[in-house]
Homo-oligomer: A and B are copies of this chain.
Amino acid sequence: MEIQYFFELFGTLFFGISGALAADEKSGKDWFGVSFVAFLTAIGGGTIRDILLSVDIIWIQDVNLLYSAAVGIILAAVFYKPLLALRKTFKLFDTLGIALFTIVGLEKALNLGIHPVIAPIMGMFTAVMGSVIRDTMLNEIPILFKKEIYASACLCGAVVYMILWKCDVDRNTTFFISGGVIVVIRLAALRYNLTMPKFKSH
């Protein structure tokens, strides 16, 4: 449990940074609007997960997650130029965020005895719903519904986790392999412009 908590804090921090930069880039809002959007990005996925799992919302019970997101937003404001310049690093923050959140969400669901087919979906929702909420409110089509490989990378990593878990691989190995799968697929998709086939061509 303890390392999971640590991961949730770090995921929230990463999402606070990437949420603030995304909100500012997309529309140059005032600092209050940017902070609000960044905060929703950082805690949105975990909120959806906890509502669906019928448990207390984690950031309402534990103010440390709020502080994590706040630190991320402040870091984004202070190190704005280097972070913008290092766009690749910034994508890495978002990628690390979705990898951590997928596994944290998946493990929380498994601990609650959720069906092994539903648990990976909870992991994916934890990772991507924050940015879906952000984009929907900013009146943009969420990245999820574009051809980019994003949520599918999370689901892939979650399925790998379930397979290793069923094979009784130890927890830390399972964590690093499945998290690595998410990071590698996402970075490969960005680098080589990988996309999924269309549902049906028109």
Could you tell me the distance in whole angstroms from the C-beta of A31 to the nearest C-beta in chain B? 5
Chain A residues 47-88 with CB under 8 Å of chain B are 47, 51-54, 56-57, 59-60, 63, 66, 77, 80
Q: Are B30 and A199 in contact (CB under 8 A)?
A: yes
- Contacting residues, chain B, for A171 (C-beta < 8 A): none
Could you tell me the distance in whole angstroms from the C-beta of A156 to the nearest C-beta in chain B? 10
Q: Are B54 and A198 in contact (CB under 8 A)?
A: no
- Can you tell how many copies of this chain the complex includes? 3
A137: CB under 8 A from chain B?
yes
A114: CB under 8 A from chain B?
yes
Complex Cα–Cα for A137 and B34 (A): 20
A50: nearest chain-B partner, CB-CB: B54
Q: Are B198 and A29 in contact (CB under 8 A)?
A: yes
Q: Are B77 and A32 in contact (CB under 8 A)?
A: no
Could you tell me the distance in whole angstroms from the C-beta of A10 to the nearest C-beta in chain B? 20
A147: CB under 8 A from chain B?
yes
Which of B31, B34, B63, B118 contacts A117, CB < 8 Å? B63
Interface size class of A (residues with CB under 8 A): 35 or more
Q: A60-B114, A139-B139, A145-B27 are in contact. Are A32 and B198 (CB under 8 A)?
A: no
- Contacting residues, chain B, for A139 (C-beta < 8 A): 136, 139-141
Could you tell me the distance in whole angstroms from the C-beta of A141 to the nearest C-beta in chain B? 5
Binding site for B on A (CB under 8 A): 20, 23-24, 27-37, 47, 51-54, 56-57, 59-60, 63, 66, 77, 80, 114-115, 117-118, 121-122, 132, 136-142, 144-147, 151-152, 195-202
Given contacts A27-B141, A60-B118, 13 further A-B contacts (CB under 8 A): A28-B199, A30-B196, A30-B199, A31-B196, A33-B199, A36-B151, A54-B56, A54-B60, A60-B114, A66-B118, A66-B121, A136-B137, A137-B142
29 contacts across the A-B interface (CB closer than 8 A):
A24-B199, A28-B198, A28-B199, A28-B200, A28-B202, A29-B198, A30-B196, A30-B197, A30-B199, A31-B197, A32-B152, A33-B147, A33-B196, A33-B199, A34-B199, A47-B52, A51-B57, A53-B60, A54-B56, A54-B57, A60-B114, A60-B118, A63-B118, A66-B118, A66-B121, A77-B199, A136-B139, A137-B141, A139-B140
